Amino acid sequence: MSTETVWIGIGFFGQALFFGRWVVQWIASERKAESRVPVSFWYMSLIGGLITLTYAIYRMDPVFISGQAIGSVVYVRNLVLIHRADHTKSQTGTQA
């Protein structure tokens, strides 16, 4: 197996994980019969985005790199906000 084949596999894996987050969001929304964005959506976004960013860096594609890098900042920020809110709720004894 060539290095190029391995990198293409990594790229497809990142894209599959990135796509899978929409399936998770869709299932969560259908279960509640309203739009929902579960925490797993943000983790899948971050991990899939970072894997895809790694592939973009390997390909030296500045458009793809900038898009994935900026997206990663958004995913991390959302996770920080979620965990901060959870921590605050646990400190005050409020249930989610």
Q: 68-85, pLDDT tens digit by residue?
A: 999 999 999 999 999 999
Residue 11, pLDDT > 80, answer yes
Q: What is the DSSP letter of 36?
A: -
pLDDT of residue 94: 61
Start-to-end Cα distance in the chain: 49
Q: Which pLDDT belongs to residue 95?
A: 58
From the list 14, 4, 5, the residue with the least C-alpha distance to 64 is: 14
Residue found by looking up tokens 């579960």 in the block = 38
62-92 vs 39-59: helix crossing angle, rounded to 10? 160
